[in-house]
Amino acid sequence: MMDFVLEAWVSALIEEMKLRWMLGGGRQWKPGERLKLLFATYSGARNTGSDIRVEEIARQVRHILGAERIELTVMSQTLDWTRDYFKGCKQVHLPDVFPPFLIREVPKHHGVVACEGSTFKSKFSDALTTMFIGALGLAAAENKVSLGYGVEAGAMNPMVQKMTRRFCKSSLVITRNPESQTVLGHLNVPTELGTDAAWTFEPLGPEYGRETLRRAGWDGATPVLIVCPINPFWWPVKPSIVKYAARVTTGAFKDSHYRTIYFHKAGREVDAKYGKYIAEMSEAVDTFRKRQRVFPILVGMERLDARACAAMAERLPGVPVFTSDAHNMYELVSVLRCGSLLVSSRYHAIVCSMPALVPSAGVTMDERIRNLMHERGHEHLLFTVEEDGLAEKVVNAMETMWRDAEGLRDGIARTVVRNLKLMARMGVYFEQHIHKIYPEFTVRSGVHSWEEYLPPLDPTLRKLVEQYESAGVSAGAGA
What confidence tens digit (pLDDT) does each residue in 109-139 have?
999 999 999 999 998 889 999 999 999 999 9
Q: Is the same domain home to 146 and 212?
A: no
**Has residue 313 been placed in a domain?**
yes
Write the pLDDT tens digit of every residue in 139-196.
Answer: 999 999 999 999 999 999 999 999 999 999 999 999 998 999 999 999 999 999 999 9
**In CATH, what number is assigned to the domain containing residue 176?**
3.40.50
Dist CA 122 CA 130 (whole Å): 9
Q: Is the same domain home to 286 and 333?
A: yes
Print the domain residue range for 144: 2-193
What pLDDT does residue 474 have?
60
pLDDT at 470 over 80: no
C-alpha closest to that of 48 among 420, 312, 347: 347
**Has residue 144 been placed in a domain?**
yes
Banded pLDDT at 410 (limits 50, 70, 90): very high
**Has residue 354 been placed in a domain?**
yes
C-alpha closest to that of 136 among 215, 42, 233, 38: 38
Number of domains in the chain: 2
What pLDDT does residue 471 have?
58
Dist CA 279 CA 41 (whole Å): 33
**Has residue 450 been placed in a domain?**
no
Mark which of 403, 419, 435 sits at the end of a domain: 403
Q: Are 335 and 210 in contact (CB under 8 A)?
A: no
Dist CA 94 CA 400 (whole Å): 44
What's the average model confidence in pLDDT over 370-388? 95
* Alpha helix (H) residue ranges in 98-240: 99-105, 126-141, 158-167, 178-185, 206-215
Dist CA 40 CA 32 (whole Å): 25
Whether cis (ω within 30° of 0) applies to the bond prior to 236 is yes
Average pLDDT, the chain: 94
Write the pLDDT tens digit of every residue in 271-323.
Answer: 999 999 999 999 999 999 999 999 999 999 999 999 999 999 999 999 999 99
Dist CA 135 CA 112 (whole Å): 7
